[in-house]
Amino acid sequence: MKKWLSVLLAGAMVLGTLTGCSGGGKKAENEVKTLDVVWFSDGKEGESFMKLADKYMEENPSVKIELIEVPYADLENKIKNMINGKEAPALARLTNIGPFQNQLVDLGEYVSDKDAFQNSFGEGLKFVFDGKILAAPMDVTANGLIYNKTAFEKAGVAVPQSEDEIWTWDEWKEAMKTVMEKSDCKYGLVYDKSPQRFTTLLYEAGGSLLNSDLTASNFNTDETKRAVSFFKELHDEGIIPTSVWLGSENPNNMFRTGQVAMHFAGSWMIANYKEEITDFDWGVTYLPKEAMRSSVPGGKYLAAFQNTGVEKEAADFIEWISKAENNAQYCVENSYLSQVKGNESLDYEYGKDFFTIFSQELAATGPQPGAEWGYQAFTGAIQNDLRDKLIEVLAGQLTVDQYAEDMDKLITDALEELK
C-alpha cells in the first residue's frame, strides 16, 4: 500500500511540474498567468504601455504583465534567442513582422469577433497576411510636408488649408519657387534621403514597386519615370539642395536654420521641431498630388507568439489595448498617429491640427504603400539599390529609363530569391 502511495505521489509531482512550464507566458491552473512583453522604447513608450497594463491588471487580476526592455538594436536577436530556447515571449513590440511571421499567433482565432477586430483599423500598416491577423498596429507615422510659415507669409504664398485645396505637383513647384524669390529662403525643399520617403512621389504618380498581389515588379512604367523625372527636376532647378541626396547634409538641420521653405519628412518631426525651432513659425500642410494622393505609413505593432501556453490571454490583452480609448491614450502621450478607427483626430497636447493633417494623409492613402513597405523581406532587399541608383540619376550618371530598367530587374530577382 505504501509503495503504491509513493508512486501516485511521484506521478502527481511530475504532472505538477509539467503543467507549470511554458514559454514567455507562465501559466498554471488557478494561478496568475504571466505575460512577458519584449519591448523597446524610443522615448517614454514603455512607461505609457505599463500605465495601460496596470489598468488591465486591475480589471483582470488573474493576469500579470511583465516588461522586458531591450535596446531596439537587440530586439530581433533577443526574441530569436528566446524562441530558440523554447522561452518565446507572450508579446512583443515589433517594427517588422517578417522575421517572425511563422511564429506569431493568428489573433483572429482568439479575439471576440475576428471581422470586427480587423475592421476596427483603418488603412496604414499591413497586419493581415494570408487571412491571418498577425499583429495589431499600436502606433503609426505618415510621410508629409512641413513648411516655414514665416517665409510663406513674407512671400505672400498661401498653403492649402483643406483637402479641397491640395496643390498639384506643378502648383507645388511654383509655390516653392515663389517663396525662394520673395523670402529669405535659399531653397524651396529639403527631402529626407530615404527610399521610403521617395516612394511617396512614386505612389502619387500612380505607380508602385510591385503589382497589387505583390508577386511581380511594376517598376518600369511611365508613372515611375514621371516621379523620378520630377524629383530630378527639383534638384536640377535648385529647389532641392544637392547637398542632401548627393552629399551627407542633414535635412532636419537645414530646415531648422530657416534657409529652406519646406521639409518633406513625416509626423515624427512634430515633437522634434516643437523643441528645436524658435527663430520662425512653422506648420504642416497637405502633400501635393499628381495622379492621386498618397503618403507612406510606418510604425509599430503589438504581436503575440505561439507555444507560450497563454496565447488566449495575450490575444485578449491585444484586443483590449487596441480599443479606441486605450490606443488613443497611448498615441497622445507619445505623439503618434493612430490606425484605430475613431482616433483620426486626437486631443494632443501640442500640434493637434498638424496631426489631423497627417491622419488625413493616411486616410487618403490606398493599401499599396502599406502592403509594399509591410513586405519587409522584399523592401529590405531592394531599398539600398532604390536609393543609390536614384542618386546616380540625380548625378547624371544614369538615365531615368536606365534606372527604371535596372530596378525592374533587381526587383524581379529579389522576388525570385524570396520564393
**Residue 145, C-alpha cell as written in the block:** 510636408
Handedness of CA 354, 356, 357, 362 (dihedral sign): positive
Q: Looking at the predicted structure, is the pLDDT value of residue 248 above 90?
A: yes
376-394 vs 400-417: helix axis angle to the nearest 10? 160
Q: How many residues does the chain have?
A: 419
Q: What radius of gyration do the chain's Cα atoms show?
A: 25
Domains of the chain in start order, with CATH, are 31-138+297-358 (3.40.190.10), 142-295+365-416 (3.40.190.10)
Q: CA 184 to CA 341: how far, in whole Å? A: 42
Q: What is the 3-state secondary structure (H, E, C) of the chain?
A: CHHHHHHHHHHHHHHHHHHCCCCEEECCCCCCEEEEEEECCCCCHHHHHHHHHHHHHHHCCCEEEEEEECCHHHHHHHHHHHHHCCCCECEEEECCCHHHCCCECCHHHCCCCHHHHHHCECCCCCCEECCEECCEEEEEEEEEEEEEHHHHHHHCCCCCCCHHHCCEHHHHHHHHHHHHHHCCCCEEEEECCCHHHHHHHHHHCCCCCECCCCCCECCCCHHHHHHHHHHHHHHHCCCCCHHHHCCCCCHHHHHHCCCEEEEEEECCHHHHHHHHCCCCCEEEECCCECCCCCCCEEEEEEEEECCCCCHHHHHHHHHHHCCHHHHHHHHHHHCCECCECCCCCCCCCCCHHHHHHHHHHHHCCCHHHHHHHHCHHHHHHHHHHHHHHHHHHHCCCCCHHHHHHHHHHHHHHHHHHCC
Q: Looking at the predicted structure, is the pLDDT value of residue 13 above 90?
A: no
The pLDDT score that the predictor gives to residue 31 is 85
Please give the mean pLDDT across all residues of the chain.
Answer: 93
The pLDDT score that the predictor gives to residue 120 is 97
Work out the pLDDT band at 98, boundaries 50, 70, 90.
Answer: confident
Pick from 376, 358, 356, 373: nearest CA to 298: 373
Q: CA 396 to CA 405: how far, in whole Å? A: 16
**Residue 50, C-alpha cell as written in the block:** 505599463
The pLDDT score that the predictor gives to residue 11 is 42
Q: CA 273 to CA 269: how far, in whole Å? A: 6
Q: Once rounded to an integer, what is the mean pLDDT over residues 25-29?
A: 51
Q: CA 329 to CA 350: how far, in whole Å? A: 14
Q: Looking at the predicted structure, is the pLDDT value of residue 296 above 60?
A: yes
Q: Which of 20-24, 56-60, 201-205, 384-388 has the lowest mean pLDDT?
A: 20-24
Work out the pLDDT band at 15, boundaries 50, 70, 90.
Answer: very low
Pick from 228, 246, 222, 255: nearest CA to 169: 228
Q: Looking at the predicted structure, is the pLDDT value of residue 19 above 80?
A: no
Q: CA 172 to CA 46: how far, in whole Å? A: 40
Q: Which amino acid is at 386?
A: L
Work out the pLDDT band at 23, boundaries 50, 70, 90.
Answer: low
Q: Looking at the predicted structure, is the pLDDT value of residue 348 above 80?
A: yes
Q: Does residue 76 or residue 8 have the better pLDDT?
A: 76
